[in-house]
A and B are shown apart, each in its own frame.
Chain A
Amino acid sequence: MSSAAPSIPAAATRPIGGEDPIWNAFRAELQKLGAQLTIRLLALACVACPFAFAAVLKVQSGTPNDALFGVYAHSSGYALSLVLLTFAGNWGLPVIAGLIGGDLFAAEDRHGTWKTILTRSCTRIDVFVAKLLAAAALAVGLTLLLALASLLAGVLLIGANSMVDLSGVTTSSGQMLLLTVLSWLLCLLPTLAYTSIAILFSIASRNGIVGVLGPLFVALVTQLLFLIGNGVIVHLLLPGSAYLGWHGLFTAHRFLGPLVISSLVSVAWIVGCVWASLAILRRRDFLASAERRGPGWRTPVKAVAATAALVAALALLSDVGPSAVTEHRLSAAIGEEFNRLTLRQQELIGRQVPAGAKLDVLPTCNRRAAKAEGPGDWTCSLNVYLPQAHAVPFSATSVEYDVSVDAGGCFKASSPPSFIGGPTMVDAAGETVTNPLYVVYGCFNTL
């Protein structure tokens, strides 16, 4: 090297990395996402599915009775939106979170482009934060899109009608709108938790498929644990538990305990997954593409074994803690609700019900299993005694309900038509309406 070598030229005139690098990286992420078909299809699905569901309900008479509010899906648009919310919380939103978060990082591995973007003006942390923001923005955007579409589909195709809540109280259209919107908003947090799980899966495995299926697997395990466990603790600690938090808003005695705890749990999942993802990414060596890493079958086998062990441990632990579903809670909830719904039925057929009227109902519930407490199938008999003088005319009778209760404290009670009539009835105005006693939905506080 001769000493006469030219000196280093002055810095380029064009500012490089002049703006905030995270903002630059974020906009680059948006450019990539905007060019990909998957995201556009996902957005389309979020809009189309609620309308398709509503349209199908319009042309046929069946109802999704098993979901909360399902029996009212024909009579109120809000019920339709809430049925979709239940489905979205169980499967739809984890799938969306997986598709967004799962591919965002692994796509760079698939295309081998980590080295391309990390040799520009952004650090790994800049790129990580930008991708995180893009994932969060997409997850929130698609959830809100789904919420809006489900509300619009319900209101436009079914109608913005008032309906009974989870305590049997008739709730006005305005109130329902408010509560439904709030419920959807409350689902943002667990959706972000699932997104960060997807991100962790995708960063740890460097594989988009693992990233996409990971959250779905977590959702599956959540559903399984929901079916088997009696205890309240494990259920509350699962990332999806916050999807059920909205139930407490739809009861006469509002309860927010599970909502607050599960939302905090969601935040903990987000923080934990993001922290772990960042730790992995920071330590990573960006070497040649994955196929050069040899026949790695050990790691997948280990991962599968560890996952199986974790699920087994969770299943064992799911009985730990007080049981959420007790005879006392269930009969109190169902007794009160039956009382209101009976009066509601009397109103519908045109009988005068004085304000504050009350039946004399004695509920007794029994679990149809060896153990007296826990979710599953119950039988409740509601003994209605002769009312006081001048009260609502109603003859003494006993109504049997088959009640299926889930671990989150929500139940669906149904009874054969011989007791309470068919699924629909004709009201005083001659209209066919949903029989409020045919299927009864309710929820009670599990804490």
Chain B
Amino acid sequence: MYAVRAGGLTKRFATTTAVDGVDLAVAPGEVRGLLGPNGAGKTTLLRMLFGLVAPDAGSVELLGRPAADPGGEALRDVGGFVEEPAFYPYLSGAANLSLLARLDGGPSAAAVTEALTRVGLDGRGGDRVAGYSTGMKQRLGLAAALLRSPRLLLLDEPTSGLDPGGTQAVTALVRELAADGVAILLSSHQIGELERVCDTYTVMRRGRVVWDGSATELICAAPASAYALATSDDEAALRIAAEHPGVRAGRARRGGLALALEADRLDGFVLALGDARVAVRRLDLLASPLETMFFALTADDAAVDRLEPEELAETVLAAS
């Protein structure tokens, strides 16, 4: 049984098709990253899974139950949020949680305290949500989802607005829950945040799924990593790059060189520079293989091979 199974999900708006025939499956214990740039349709897809939006076509099954009448029974054991979690600003964080627990039929002060502690909001639960920062609301949203002891978590950009510590906590929490067999689908527009969290990825672009597979497959399929390079002799470095297969280089607009390196080409290239007495002054990883894959998949003209290294580097710089 799959925790999420969606087939041919489609949602059209007046001018755009936000989600276009998306198939999706998440198994228990699986952490699936839903990736895509802004406007790719991630949130709309999650809204359809939650039954907040009626699909124009397609079917949704959560934990083996078809979502005939959205909400209620169809969402039993399902937790999560879409976009920035929203709460009643005039109630405290704890009161918001106990209200939501009440909607679930069982308010328990201990469960509320535990959920608040788990997301690092202990001590602030008594404050009114009106005074919460974006990150705190994000944490409260996570607490609200955990309160349901979910077997399926649907999280829309759970790390946006969080400080690094918060991001790390969320990452750890997600892994912990997945180890307990909870299925987790989390969306992000930045693959970097999810690199160490997800087992599998669904990459979306303009409402369509452009890639679907495991993290290892994604790395293998990744064409290149992007680096920024500064040397004592850029001319010589360009020449050496041209002689090396799997290495492409160009002048970056901001000075220095931009490199696109296929997997395992870095060592050989750097050694060759040394042999030619070209000193490496700076070498920065601009985009990991996953990131370049992500940019490649979601860039407007799809194939990364056709992107000049400089363009690739610029795209990465612009996006980060």
The answer on A and B forming one complex is yes
| A residues contacting the other copy or chain, number (CB 8 A) | 44
Q: Are the C-beta atoms of B105 and A15 separated by less than 8 Å?
A: yes
Q: Are the C-beta atoms of A123 and B72 separated by less than 8 Å?
A: yes
Chain B residues within 8 Å of A422, by CB: none
Closest-CB distance, A410 to chain B (whole angstroms):
44
Chain A residues within 8 Å of B63, by CB: 8
10 contacts between A and B (CB under 8 A): A6-B28, A7-B181, A12-B149, A13-B149, A35-B95, A111-B89, A123-B72, A126-B71, A286-B47, A287-B47
Contact partner of B72 (CB less than 8 A), chosen from A9, A15, A122, is A122
Q: Does A145 contact B (CB under 8 A)?
A: no
Closest-CB distance, A93 to chain B (whole angstroms):
26
Q: Are the C-beta atoms of B181 and A8 separated by less than 8 Å?
A: yes
Q: Are the C-beta atoms of A123 and B69 separated by less than 8 Å?
A: yes
Residue among A27, A118, A121, A283 facing the most chain B CB atoms (10 A cut-off):
A121
Closest-CB distance, B225 to chain A (whole angstroms):
26
Q: Are the C-beta atoms of A115 and B28 separated by less than 8 Å?
A: no
Q: Write the A1-39 contact mask toward B (1 if CB under 8 angstroms, else 0).
A: 100011111011111111101001101100110011000
Contact partner of A5 (CB less than 8 A), chosen from B27, B54, B89, B144, is B27
Interface residues of A (CB under 8 A from B): 1, 5-9, 11-19, 21, 24-25, 27-28, 31-32, 35-36, 111-124, 126, 283, 285-288
Q: Are the C-beta atoms of A6 and B181 separated by less than 8 Å?
A: yes
Chain B residues within 8 Å of A5, by CB: 27-30, 181
Q: Once bound together, how far apart are the Cα atoms of A112 and B141, in whole Å?
A: 13
Q: Are the C-beta atoms of B149 and A119 separated by less than 8 Å?
A: no
Residue among B71, B87, B148, B180 facing the most chain A CB atoms (10 A cut-off):
B71
Q: Once bound together, how far apart are the Cα atoms of A117 and B100, in whole Å?
A: 7
Closest-CB distance, B8 to chain A (whole angstroms):
18
Interface residues of B (CB under 8 A from A): 1, 3, 27-30, 43-44, 47, 50-54, 63, 69-73, 75-83, 85-91, 95, 98-100, 102-106, 108, 111, 144, 148-149, 151, 179-183, 199-200, 214
The 9 A-B residue pairs with the shortest CB-CB distance, nearest first, are A12-B149, A123-B72, A112-B86, A6-B181, A286-B52, A123-B71, A120-B103, A8-B28, A5-B29
Q: Are the C-beta atoms of B87 and A113 separated by less than 8 Å?
A: yes
Chain B residues within 8 Å of A285, by CB: 47, 52-54
Known interface pairs A8-B151, A123-B72; 5 further A-B residue pairs with C-beta atoms within 8 A, sorted by A's residue number: A11-B77, A111-B88, A113-B87, A116-B100, A123-B73
Interface of A is mostly: loop
Chain A residues within 8 Å of B182, by CB: 9
Chain B residues within 8 Å of A15, by CB: 105-106
Question: Chain A: which residue is nearest B32 at the CB level?
Answer: A1
Closest-CB distance, A301 to chain B (whole angstroms):
19
Q: Are the C-beta atoms of A288 and B83 separated by less than 8 Å?
A: yes
Question: Chain B: which residue is nearest A16 at the CB level?
Answer: B104
Q: Once bound together, how far apart are the Cα atoms of A35 and B91, in whole Å?
A: 7
Q: Once bound together, how far apart are the Cα atoms of A315 and B293, in whole Å?
A: 68
Chain B residues within 8 Å of A113, by CB: 86-88
A16-B106, A119-B75, A121-B105 in contact; A8/B183 too (CB < 8 A)? yes
Q: Are the C-beta atoms of B86 and A116 separated by less than 8 Å?
A: yes
Closest-CB distance, A38 to chain B (whole angstroms):
10
Chain B residues within 8 Å of A8, by CB: 1, 3, 28, 63, 151, 181, 183
Q: Are the C-beta atoms of B3 and A115 separated by less than 8 Å?
A: no
Chain B residues within 8 Å of A112, by CB: 86
Q: Are the C-beta atoms of B148 and A120 separated by less than 8 Å?
A: yes
Q: Are the C-beta atoms of A116 and B87 separated by less than 8 Å?
A: yes
Closest-CB distance, A23 to chain B (whole angstroms):
9
Q: Once bound together, how far apart are the Cα atoms of A171 and B261, in whole Å?
A: 101
Q: Once bound together, how far apart are the Cα atoms of A35 and B89, in whole Å?
A: 11
Chain A residues within 8 Å of B3, by CB: 8
Q: Are the C-beta atoms of B85 and A116 separated by less than 8 Å?
A: yes
Q: Are the C-beta atoms of A24 and B29 separated by less than 8 Å?
A: no
Q: Once bound together, how far apart are the Cα atoms of A283 and B70, in whole Å?
A: 11
Q: Are the C-beta atoms of B28 and A24 separated by less than 8 Å?
A: no
